[in-house]
Chain A
């Protein structure tokens, strides 16, 4: 008999040690934050992670959400649509999850979108800018502008300030790059710019010389690269090695520190949703705390995620931990008066869940990112 007791005891001990810890810590609220944390875009993901952690710590320090602590659960989607839908399915099936932050890449967000929609789960993306995201869901919101705006903004800048006449476009085959390219071309052509050539590349390539050789013969004033930084820096290098003398410009996907170690990227212009120099009062404090904590200035992913977590926390606090109620709450943030005021300005959503946010132009000068001399009003 004694043996049986011991066996039962051991069995129970094993069972309890296998149970997830949060069974005992019921009171914390899990908030999944999905982004690439490894792979080529890991440095974007680092901003997402730091921004989310910082906001969560601040919320917890001031008493959490109605007394419950918020717990950031980082999920890696590698910026791949396939991985993104796996992560989204896992997240959506967890009944304790009432709102999601993510994803970063537009292609990943578009892959996850139908899954969240089916699960009636609200998601806030801090970084995906493809125009079709808002229009095809109803459960997706964003704290970043979308590319119909960014593309047109960049086209205006290229024409009005930079006075480019002939532009070649080198884009990646993904939703972000192609959506941005389309918006840019529309506005640029309206303003009388000739798009003298368009070429595509895939993220797996490192040799861009065949396409660049074509561009070289066309002799554009500028090369527009609506892609991500790891490929962008290689493109700029290889174009320079080919002896191309053009200006380079891109969008928020090129806004990364990796560009600074490339001496050929001097003078590169990019759009960005967040510029430390142009930031308002509350942003100054954020930048200071962030820089002190992580030893580097926040990139735009950090700032936008910081605000996204803030909105999510407020939604849970005001609407309760219920997916449907959170959606109703989010939809109701629809005017400047009801806007969430964060470090990236005030955020409120139109009927598609898109928001109006300013864009800025950054430039690399003496190996450092800084505000461009002229900004568009």
Chain B
């Protein structure tokens, strides 16, 4: 092996690693939304992927139709999606809170199908992309180039924004009253409400925060891959769900870890093993982890939970 080959191989490795980390931070952002809702309600919010899709579409609509500057559109999309998360819980899950868990799950799937079709009616089936002239020009330039390795500002932005948001979330959960209430509800909802915690308000907050992060991921993906379409939430939602399960559903650090692992595994799987089986590789990892560690990487074991 001559030095050129070594150089090529190591640059390929680094390229795949940066791709994987970018993808992983997006999965992590979505996965956190699943895991937070599961933590407080023990409900898998299958409409979460659709909130992610809505985020991308709203930002796209604002930028391309109303000429709103990108970052302002980004912020508005986040606010709308957070409100939408609260709305979703209020209409689709709250009336069913005391019903069996399967009922709420069906409601979630129904909501997901409804939202996909709503987007199909509003925006049509064709793939949309942000008009490149209206995106910050920084996004298409390189932050760092060394030989064949390069890193775009957009990749750096996605990665840093995800990390910052995760720290903020961690702070909220660990060091604020609302966060404490969330943790209390996760342990025992009935006892928490007996202690005077306003269950509805905390659950609404959880949905708002989860949807906020989901919408961040949606807009970032829309810009990064330049493709937005009504069923984009389906695959992303399933992957992020797998990431949440991999990390241990209900655990926020687990979702972050799971998302990152899944993203990197996908990039390396597609890059080194076979690109046609990339999704299979991601799921195979999830299955393997669950066989040996059924509660996920950072999940609590069932005995401790109940």
- Give the B-binding residues of A (Cβ under 8 A): 38-40, 42-43, 173, 199-202, 204-207, 209-211, 213-214, 216-217, 230, 233-234, 237-238, 241-243, 258, 261-263
Contact = CB atoms under 8 A, between A and B. Distances in A.
Given A40-B127, A206-B225, A217 B270 contact: no
B164 interface: no
Given A200-B274, A200-B276, 14 more contacts: A39-B126, A40-B125, A40-B229, A202-B276, A206-B225, A206-B232, A210-B16, A213-B19, A217-B8, A217-B11, A234-B225, A238-B225, A243-B145, A261-B129
A40 B229 CA distance: 9
B127 A210 contact: no
B168 interface: no
A173 B124 CA distance: 25
Contacts of A242: 15, 150
Contacts of B235: 204
A233 B128 CA distance: 11
B227 A200 contact: no
B153 to A, nearest CB: 11
A243 B141 CA distance: 10
A213 B15 contact: yes
Interface string B149-164: 0101010000000000
Nearest to A219: B148
A238 to B, nearest CB: 7
21 contacts: A38-B125, A40-B126, A209-B267, A210-B19, A210-B270, A210-B271, A210-B278, A213-B19, A217-B8, A217-B12, A217-B15, A230-B126, A230-B127, A230-B227, A233-B129, A238-B225, A241-B140, A242-B15, A243-B145, A258-B127, A262-B129
A213 B269 CA distance: 13
B125 A39 contact: yes
Main secondary structure of the interface of A (DSSP, over half): helix
B11 A237 contact: no
Contact of B275 (A206, A210, A230, A262): A210
Contacts of A42: 124-126
Interface of B: 8, 11-12, 15-16, 19, 23, 124-127, 129, 131-132, 140, 142, 145, 148, 150, 152, 154, 221, 225-227, 229, 232, 235, 266-271, 274-276, 278
B226 A234 contact: yes
A243 B142 contact: yes
A211 B275 contact: yes
B275 A201 contact: yes
Contacts of B140: 241
Contacts of B267: 209-210
A40 B129 CA distance: 13
B16 to A, nearest CB: 6
A243 to B, nearest CB: 5
Contacts of B268: 210
B12 A234 contact: no
Contact of A199 (B225, B227, B275): B275
B126 A211 contact: no
A200 B225 contact: no
Contacts of A204: 235
8 smallest CB-CB distances across A and B, nearest first, come from A210-B270, A210-B271, A213-B15, A200-B276, A209-B19, A206-B225, A38-B125, A243-B150
Q: Which of B12, B145, B270 has the most chain A CB atoms closer than 10 A to its own CB? A: B270
Contacts of B232: 206
Contact of A234 (B19, B125, B131, B227): B227
A39 B275 CA distance: 24
Given A40-B229, A200-B275, A217-B148, A211 B127 contact: no
Contact of B126 (A43, A199, A214): A43
A118 B144 CA distance: 60
A322 B227 CA distance: 47
Nearest to A199: B275
Contact of B12 (A43, A214, A230, A238): A214
B237 to A, nearest CB: 13
B302 to A, nearest CB: 34
Nearest to A78: B125
